[in-house]
């Protein structure tokens, strides 16, 4: 009889343990102890798919969720439910909650002055020698359009004039060029040829060492003054390659005129700035997702005086939004638009969403999106969600935008 009672007690205890382990809170604790990121199913709901989950009945957007071996779960959230909440403790396991990133929104038209690192080859040319012979030393050495000449005999090239000085310093014989071709760096030996017309030794190349243009500031971090602009790379007009930054500056640009965009013909903001204009920031990087650098001082935005919360891609919705840009002497203005398509992306791309301009004021003035508006910040639900990057040639009322989180990764 006693054996039957003990057996029955054992069965009851086993069932109790089984029932306890099915409890969601216990499962959550076990998962944290195992170093895995799992979903809270009771009072806290977080999941590592950048999706929208509930916290005590409130909607929040989680950007990243992960657990490490020290049993600490961290999340960056853009919702309101956890704002001000610094730390949660669950059975001695700490849950850290980071407040959302906030950025100062741009919209200012900027002049971009970029000097390349080295000299970019934009063409191969023939050289006529004093005896009338026509040769192409660059072609014979294997140089190509798009190559960047970074060094001559291990001396760094500052610009096109400096390149000519280094080549002529030696007068005769071969020189070693260090060139950048795509992601590769290689050494090339070349024999400069004396030109019949001016008596200078030449490589037989056309080179470019700088560029300038107009764009729009997207945002800056109020804590570091690091800024982002354009949303796409500055490329050479001839070779279509990204320009490698040697040094550069951004300045505030005045808008002189607007060329209205039409079907088949992109419009343009015609800006004015000069070498004597005071720089407001440096250019440190030129990437597929815009140009980046550091401002000299904080800039004010008359539309949004306080920094805006960052909205990640999962917070972007189809429908109404606004863009900020400068198209005349009246400064930054906010214009209505719509997000008509969203491309949820696993990797960074400047074509994250399709934006359609709906504001009659902007349509009447520019016809939609025009050159010079690249980088115009996109705001939705009081969050900065991205920037305008491209215009559709056949429909200037529409264009592409990039998610702001891709731009943030480049800071």
Q: Tell me which residues are annotated as active site.
A: 232, 359, 374
The rounded distance, in Å, linking the Cα atoms of 86 and 101 is 15
The rounded distance, in Å, linking the Cα atoms of 273 and 110 is 9
Strand ranges (DSSP E) for 241-318?
Answer: 245-252, 254-259, 268-272, 281-282, 285-287, 290-294, 308-310
The residues facing 320 across adjacent strands are 338
Whether the Cβ atoms of residue 187 and residue 178 lie closer than 8 Å to each other: yes
SS3 state of residue 21: helix
Determine how β-strand 226-229 pairs with β-strand 205-220.
Answer: antiparallel
Select from 81, 83, 107 the least CA-distant residue to 324. 107
Environment class of residue 59 by beta-carbon count within 10 Å: exposed (0-12), middle (13-18) or buried (19+)?
exposed
Report the Cα 335 to chain-centroid distance in Å: 22
Length of the chain: 411
User: 373-386 burial, b if ≥16 CB within 10 A, otherwise e?
Assistant: bbbbbbbbeebbbb
Select from 335, 338, 258 the least CA-distant residue to 303. 335
The rounded distance, in Å, linking the Cα atoms of 216 and 296 is 17
Select from 192, 407, 171, 176 the least CA-distant residue to 311. 407
Through-space distance between the first and last CA atoms of the chain, rounded to whole angstroms: 75
45: DSSP letter:
-
């Amino acid at each position: 009889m006693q054996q039957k009672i003990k057996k029955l007690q054992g069965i009851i205890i086993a069932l109790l343990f089984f029932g306890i382990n099915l409890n969601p809170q216990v499962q959550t604790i076990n998962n944290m102890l195992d170093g895995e990121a799992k979903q809270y199913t009771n009072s806290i709901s977080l999941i590592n798919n950048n999706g929208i989950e509930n916290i005590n009945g409130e909607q929040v957007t989680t950007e990243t969720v992960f657990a490490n071996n020290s049993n600490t779960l961290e999340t960056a959230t853009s919702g309101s439910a956890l704002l001000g909440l610094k730390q949660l403790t669950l059975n001695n396991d700490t849950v850290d909650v980071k407040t959302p990133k906030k950025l100062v929104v741009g919209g200012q038209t900027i002049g971009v002055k970029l000097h390349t690192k080295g000299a970019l080859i934009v063409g191969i040319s023939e050289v006529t020698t004093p005896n009338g012979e026509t040769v192409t030393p660059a072609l014979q050495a294997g140089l190509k359009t798009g190559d960047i000449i970074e060094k001559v005999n291990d001396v760094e090239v500052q610009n096109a004039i400096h390149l000519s000085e280094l080549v002529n310093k030696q007068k005769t014989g071969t020189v070693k060029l260090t060139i950048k071709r795509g992601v590769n760096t290689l050494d090339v030996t070349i024999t400069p040829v004396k030109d019949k017309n001016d008596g200078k030794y030449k490589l037989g190349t056309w080179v470019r060492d700088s560029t300038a243009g107009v764009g729009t500031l997207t945002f800056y971090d109020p804590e570091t003054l690091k800024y982002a602009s354009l949303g796409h790379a500055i490329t050479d007009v001839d070779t279509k390659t990204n320009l490698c930054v040697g040094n550069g500056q951004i300045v505030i640009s005045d808008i002189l005129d607007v060329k209205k965009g039409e079907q088949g013909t992109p419009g343009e903001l015609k800006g004015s700035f000069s070498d004597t204009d005071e720089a407001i920031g440096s250019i440190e990087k030129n990437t597929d997702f815009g140009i980046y650098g550091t401002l000299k001082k904080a800039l004010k935005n008359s539309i949004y005086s306080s920094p805006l919360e960052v909205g990640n891609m999962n917070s972007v919705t189809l429908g109404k939004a606004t863009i900020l840009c400068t198209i005349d002497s009246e400064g930054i203005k906010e214009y209505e638009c719509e997000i008509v398509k969203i491309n949820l992306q696993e990797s960074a791309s400047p074509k994250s969403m399709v934006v359609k301009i709906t504001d009659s004021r902007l349509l009447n003035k520019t016809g939609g999106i025009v050159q010079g508006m690249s980088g115009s910040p996109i705001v939705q639900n009081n969050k900065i969600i991205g920037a305008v990057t491209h215009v559709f040639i056949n429909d200037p009322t529409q264009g592409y935008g990039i998610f702001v989180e891709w731009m943030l990764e480049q800071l």
